[in-house]
């Protein structure tokens, strides 16, 4: 039988808490909906807030009850736990293949983030491909997905993953490739011409000419 400490949020594991520490105190929250002019640093801080919130509350992960223990940076192995309960069942009254695949996907994303020099401020991790072989059904109340890095390149990370129950009964094996993708910079907001100060405006900048609307005669 396996047991472990209280699970940790994925946001904490991949370093998003570091981004939160760098958010300026006066940075407006995007949820407030305030139309403000922001600098590049403030825009990056707002993006960090949004990514952290998304990582903290993925409804599917919450529904399946996925949890994990905090690995150390540089660890080549990560393990995800999932309880065997009706929310994860298929029509056979046992674990749905999609629930197992979700568990495998998260384990592989986690080990990709922690087992490489992945930088959460500049990159995100996405699934490139996944091949799962379903080999059995669980005999205990908890199952585990153990993901281990096979090869880590600059962009592509190849991972092997096994899913077992608490008695080490093998349920599935998977070959997965995860990809490191650069995060795009926020697109600057359009400038309102009415807000431009004529005294500081660039005279060489092109200006939009008013369009004449043809009049109609009775």
Task: Specify the pTM.
Answer: 0.62
Distances, alpha carbon 40 to alpha carbons 20, 25, 27, 152, in Å: 16, 15, 11, 32
Band of the pLDDT at 183, cuts 50, 70, 90?
confident
Calpha distance 103→146 (Å, rounded)? 10
pLDDT of residue 120: 84
DSSP reduced 3-state for 112: helix
DSSP reduced 3-state for 99: helix
Q: List domains and CATH numbers for the chain.
A: 10-182 (3.10.129.10)
Calpha distance 6→14 (Å, rounded)? 17
Comparing 45 with 61, the larger pLDDT belongs to 61
The answer to whether 184 touches 122, Cβ cutoff 8 Å, is: no
What percentage of the chain carries pLDDT values higher than 70? 59
User: pLDDT tens digit string along 157-182?
Assistant: 999 999 999 999 999 999 999 999 99
Token pair in block for residue 187: 């697109």
Residues 6+ apart with CB under 8 A from 6: none
Spacing of C-alpha 125 from chain mean position: 7
User: pLDDT tens digit string along 72-123?
Assistant: 899 999 999 999 999 989 998 889 999 999 999 999 999 999 999 898 888 9
- Beta pairing, strands 123-134 & 67-68: unpaired
């Amino acid at each position: 039988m396996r047991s472990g400490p209280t699970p940790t949020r994925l946001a904490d594991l991949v370093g998003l808490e570091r981004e939160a520490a760098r958010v300026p105190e006066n940075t407006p929250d995007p949820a407030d909906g305030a139309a403000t002019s922001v600098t590049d640093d403030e825009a990056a801080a707002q993006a960090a807030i949004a990514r952290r919130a998304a990582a903290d509350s993925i409804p599917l992960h919450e529904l399946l009850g996925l949890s994990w223990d905090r690995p150390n940076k540089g660890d080549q192995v990560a393990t995800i736990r999932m309880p065997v309960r009706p929310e994860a069942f298929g029509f056979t009254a046992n674990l749905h293949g999609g629930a197992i695949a979700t568990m495998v996907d998260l384990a592989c994303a986690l080990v990709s983030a922690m087992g490489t020099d992945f930088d959460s401020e500049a990159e995100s991790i996405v699934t490139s491909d996944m091949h799962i072989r379903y080999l059995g059904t669980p005999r205990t109340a908890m199952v585990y997905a153990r993901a281990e890095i096979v090869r880590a390149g600059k962009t592509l990370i190849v991972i092997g993953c096994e899913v077992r129950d608490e008695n080490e009964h093998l349920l599935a094996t998977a070959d997965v490739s995860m990809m490191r993708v650069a995060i795009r910079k926020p697109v600057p907001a359009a400038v309102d011409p009415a807000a431009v100060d004529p005294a500081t405006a660039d005279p060489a900048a092109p200006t939009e000419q008013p369009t004449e609307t043809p009049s109609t005669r009775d």
